[in-house]
């Protein structure tokens, strides 16, 4: 990080990475921050207000990075995307992101979205539901989708607990990693996460300065595959991490949720 530079945090969350970027780039570095979730955005705005005009925050999805930077007529020296779902959303949002709490099956990052997890489970036809689970790499996706279609005839899905019970009944297990995959597949569909990631990956090289850097932290294979292919196939980006960077043992002690994190870093190629 250097002073007088412009940075983008595409996934501000509660402002942890943004604070670190602003501290490292003081006194004059500027940060453009994007946070889609309304509650996280309010908290981050409060936490980062001490940086005054050095931070510009938007309550928008990161697909708007290119549009906003072009409107501002700026290029950036570095972009960070941390694709993990925050502890705050899992534990404090009351939107059903976690299988460990009984909450409404919502899973919308932003309430402007029309479709909830409940809508998907109760209203998607068998083929659409199968595709959601297949795309999310849920085991025996088609059979599980058929099971859900039968189950909802008797009683609609309303709470996370309803889905947890269906998973336990179908798979005859309550393994956490299985529940996590099922919940994740629905969350990805509700928020169009993979489509949005593809969009932003295509856009980022357009708003990077020559030698500007992009760092992306992903937490599951579906995201990491997209990121890996982007770094490999986009001629505008030079890969700086032959293998992804993973957390140290010390970091894992501090934050066990980081165990599946993979960071890939690239640099904008100087155009001749």
Q: Which residue has the tokens 């890969």?
A: 239
From first to last of its 272 residues, the chain has per-residue pLDDT tens of: 666 799 999 999 999 999 999 999 999 999 999 999 999 999 999 999 999 999 999 999 999 999 999 999 999 999 999 999 988 898 888 999 999 999 999 999 999 999 999 999 999 999 999 999 999 999 999 999 999 999 999 999 999 999 999 999 999 998 999 999 999 999 999 999 999 999 999 999 999 999 999 999 999 999 999 999 999 999 999 999 999 999 888 877 887 777 789 999 999 997 65
* Residue whose C-alpha is closest to residue 224's, from 197, 248, 195, 257: 197
Neighbours of 175 (CB within 10 A): 11
Between CA 97 and CA 84, with CA 229 as vertex, the angle to 5 degrees is: 20
pLDDT score of 260: 86
pLDDT score of 1: 64
Q: How far is CA 83 from CA 58, 72, 191, 246, in A?
A: 17, 25, 13, 14
Say if residues 138 and 166 touch (Cβ distance below 8 Å).
no
User: What distance in Å separates the CA atoms of residue 129 and residue 144, rounded to the nearest whole number?
Assistant: 9
Q: Would you give the DSSP letter of residue 73?
A: T
Domains of the chain: 6-82+199-268 (3.40.50.150), 93-191 (1.10.150.170)
């Amino acid at each position: 990080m250097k002073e007088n530079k412009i940075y983008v945090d595409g996934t501000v969350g509660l402002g942890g990475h943004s604070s670190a970027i602003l501290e490292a780039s003081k006194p004059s570095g500027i940060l453009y921050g994007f946070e889609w979730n309304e509650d996280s955005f309010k908290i981050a705005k409060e936490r980062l207000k001490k940086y005054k005009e050095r931070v510009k925050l938007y309550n928008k999805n990161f697909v708007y990075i290119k549009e906003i930077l072009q409107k501002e007529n700026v290029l950036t020296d570095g972009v960070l995307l941390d694709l993990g779902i925050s502890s705050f959303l899992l534990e404090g949002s009351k939107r059903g992101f976690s299988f460990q709490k009984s909450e409404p099956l919502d899973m919308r990052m932003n309430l402007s979205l029309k479709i909830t997890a409940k809508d998907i489970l109760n209203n998607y036809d068998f083929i659409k539901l199968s595709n959601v689970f297949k795309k999310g790499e849920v085991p025996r996706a088609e059979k599980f989708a058929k099971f859900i279609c039968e189950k909802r005839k008797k009683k609609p899905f309303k709470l996370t607990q309803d889905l947890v019970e269906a998973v336990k009944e179908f798979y005859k297990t309550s393994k956490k990693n299985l529940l996590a995959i099922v919940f994740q597949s629905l969350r990805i569909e509700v928020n169009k996460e993979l489509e949005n990631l593809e969009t932003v990956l295509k856009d980022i090289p357009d708003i990077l300065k020559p030698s500007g850097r992009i760092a992306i932290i992903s937490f599951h294979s579906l995201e990491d595959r997209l990121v890996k292919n982007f770094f490999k196939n986009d001629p505008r980006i030079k890969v700086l991490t032959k293998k992804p960077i993973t957390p140290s043992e010390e970091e894992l002690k501090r934050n066990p949720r980081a165990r599946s994190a993979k960071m890939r870093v690239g640099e904008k190629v100087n155009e001749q």
